[in-house]
Amino acid sequence: CRCCAEGRRHSSILYSILRSDERALPPPGPAPRGCPCGSRRRVALRSPQVACKAASAVLVKTLRFVQNVPCFQELPLEEQLLLVRSCWAPLLLLGLAQERVHLETVESAEPSMLQRILTARQQGEQTPPRAPAQGRPHHGPHPPSAGEIQAIKSFLDKCWSLDISTKEYAYLKGTVLFNPDLPGLQCTQYIEGLQREAQQALNEHVRLIHRGDEARFAKLNVVLSLLRSINANVVAELFFRPIIGAVNMDDMLLEMLCAKL
């Protein structure tokens, strides 16, 4: 049937895009000398105040966009909060891409593994280890690694290379926001229908505006797949911990969602 044929066509297009990306990678060569874990190096924002201020502004603008979606407002507050908690990070990254926020990073000063071992042994000889506070597990600062930052930069570069329009960003945000696969949702079928409508609207818009680029819809879905590989904790550590400190994103999102942005 026509629907199956369209599905096979888009699948083949998506496969060809992924294959072309693989062909663009350099061929594997001999392992470089020295430490092979360069992607694990810890990095930090060069100007954390500037970047965090920009990210905060984009987050406010993103939540304002979400609140202005009529079908989102029709959901119970518990469902709204569950959706926002699960997708605030990819929505923020889409907003950063839309606002053309560039990331400049520097390698953070972090002691080597040998230094940490020696320091830990010395501290263990001098003072007994202290037990963590009851009921509050310790989660110390964990600066993002170079590989984690590169994943975010690659996502931003992919968006900018596609020159995504305002409408396309809106449909992508709708696809991310209305995720019916979250555990605990009650309005699953309704949310699934909204996600399907967002994807259909994106497909129709692409066919109308980019008639000569049959692969664009698949390329935009590759953008969504890149989003899924980025951890929300990394986004929180990168954009909010340098200014706010140990932040509870659930509490902050609840406060912002219930406020009149």
* Fold category of 45-107+142-259 in CATH: Retinoid X Receptor (1.10.565)
3-state DSSP assignment of residue 214: coil
Distance CA 114, CA 109 (A): 14
Q: Which pLDDT tens digit goes with each residue over 106-162?
A: 776 555 555 556 656 555 555 444 444 333 333 445 677 888 889 999 999 999 999
Asked whether the beta carbons of 152 and 95 are under 8 A apart, the reply is no
Q: Which pLDDT tens digit goes with each residue over 178-214?
A: 999 999 999 999 999 999 999 999 999 999 999 888 8
Model confidence at 40, pLDDT cuts 50, 70, 90, reads low
Cα distances (angstroms) measured from residue 43 to each of 40, 51, 230, 256: 9, 14, 16, 29
pTM confidence score: 0.70
Using H for helix, E for strand and C for coil, what is the string for 133-163?
A: CCCCCCCCCCCCEHHHHHHHHHHHHHHHHHC
User: Dihedral (C-alpha) 17, 19, 23, 29: value to the nearest 10 degrees?
Assistant: 140
Domain boundaries, the chain: 45-107+142-259
